Chain A
Amino acid sequence: MTEHLVTQFDTDLNEIRSKLLEMGGKVEKMIHDSMKALVERNTELAESTIEYDHEINRLEVEIDELCLEALVQRQPAARDLRFITMAMKIDTDLERIGDKCRNIAKRARELNELPPLKPYIDLPQMADLAAAMVNDALTAFVRWDDQLAYTVCHRDDEVNLLNEQIQGELLTFMIKDPGTITRAIKINAIARHLERIADHATNVAEMVIFMVKGKDVRHLGIDPK
């Protein structure tokens, strides 16, 4: 794509793009760190992850401000309009992912005070899947790659499946020994947070598809064409 006649507009758009990428990178770090804090029973890491959420919130505000300025100053159309409006929506989803990670870290902090219920195997797998979805959704955003965005949407099912699996497993624990209920509920909450993170990544991917194709695929069931 050629550059704008007003080169400052390109500079502004690049700033929005790089801030979103920065935000995405930080959100991914939060997913991994909150999970590490749980698996390695590292309460210090849980604390710093909870604190780190401020970074994400700050970026959301900054990106929204840049987008508003661009809307007012440039009155963008077509792909620029789609880029800016979708950036404003994507940062909201990323911010929500940050919130979920903070909640995971809080639950990790609590679980670390209790005896381990079981080795964590499925949860880290879910976290890896969800983080990869976030990563790919943002790569698709930067590259204007709707096909990659479609693959993100399709991967949501895997995460949902793992979530159901974990829930079933936890239910067995709780039925066998009510003494596990407190821990099982917290672990269940973490699984649900991860499942929601994957949903947010799917939202981002759907916005990328709209940005690239100008076609709204939300609430339709995804069909890559």
Chain B
Amino acid sequence: MNSKLKLDQLNIHFGAAQAVKNVSLDFPANTVTAIIGPSGCGKSTVLRSINRMHDLTPSARVTGRVLLDDADIYDRKVDPVAVRRRIGMVFQKANPFPAMTIYDNVISGYKLNGRVKKAEMDEIVESSLKRVALWDEVKDRLKTSAMALSGGQQQRLCIARTVAVQPEVILMDEPCSALDPIATLKIEELIDELKEQYTVVIVTHNMQQAARVSDFTAFLYLGELIEFDVTKKIFTNPAKSQTEDYITGRFG
């Protein structure tokens, strides 16, 4: 399979502490990969390194390579803003811009590209909201505040904002942990649709969710990659006893 994204001997330090140890991973194009592991295992740290979120943390040091289409996003010539345009991110808590309308929220990222015509913006907003199955619910109130939406709708709005920029990879950091089961199922259904167009990497604490939405699963423990395999294999018959112990609830 074609790999879209590749971690090559990734090491991440915060000051003297090493959070991620020599992790190498391949993310095939148009697939969903779940990263699982107990709290503090480094899964969010790995995810954040993929769109250079650690650049803003002075104590953070990232070594190794993160290859997007075989080009290292940590190369000195690469602009982190350009990286984030190609690799979007959705966070645990829905974070729409509170002072903006639904419409402005969706288009906010896209507008950073420069001057955009009104008709183009309308089209982007509509297609992005349709993409996340939110259009029918909000099309009559695009100019109202995003904060009036429910938690699940806000999260889909944030995904629409990410999608509007037309990225190639979408990173999701526990996107459903603040949502009720119905909203969770809607996001999961959406993830399944998103992979037709994007490569998705999701960090989740919910192992059933990982089993449901992902094609591949990586298990991290104490900053190390313990096992990476097809999701079905990981959850029915993992190769490593540490993976087995974790997913069967023998430690955590």
Contacts and interface: CB of A to CB of B under 8 A. Distances in A.
A4 B236 contact: no
B249 A81 contact: no
User: Which of B211, B244, B252 has the most chain A CB atoms inside 10 A of its CB?
Assistant: B244
A124 B207 CA distance: 51
Contacts of B238: 78
Interface stretch (A51-59, A69-77, A193-201): A69-77
A77 B248 contact: yes
B236 A5 contact: no
A77 B207 contact: yes
A81 B237 CA distance: 9
Interface string B88-114: 000000000000000000000000000
A82 B249 contact: no
B135 interface: no
Contacts, number: 43
Interface string A179-216: 00000000000000000000000000000000001110
Contact of B250 (A2, A74, A81, A82): A2
A79 B243 CA distance: 11
A82 B251 contact: no
A78 B238 CA distance: 7
B176 to A, nearest CB: 16
- The prevalent SS among residues of A at the interface is loop
A86 to B, nearest CB: 12
B208 interface: yes
A1 interface: yes
A5 B249 CA distance: 6
B interface majority secondary structure: helix
Contact of B235 (A6, A9, A77, A213): A77
A80 interface: yes
B143 to A, nearest CB: 43
B124 interface: no
Nearest to B252: A5
A78 B249 contact: no
A78 B247 contact: yes
Nearest to B211: A77
A6 B251 contact: no
Contacts of A74: 249
Contacts of B207: 75, 77
A6 B249 contact: yes
Centre residue among A6, A81, A213, A215 by max chain B CB count within 10 A: A81
A113 interface: no
A177 interface: no
Contacts of B249: 4-6, 9, 74
B137 interface: no
- Indicate the member of A6, A74, A79, A80 with the most B CB atoms within 10 Å: A79
Interface in A1-51: 1-6, 9
Name the 5 nearest CB pairs between A and B, nearest first: A214-B237, A77-B247, A77-B235, A80-B248, A2-B250
Given A2-B250, A77-B248, A81-B235, 5 more contacts: A5-B249, A9-B249, A77-B247, A81-B236, A82-B236
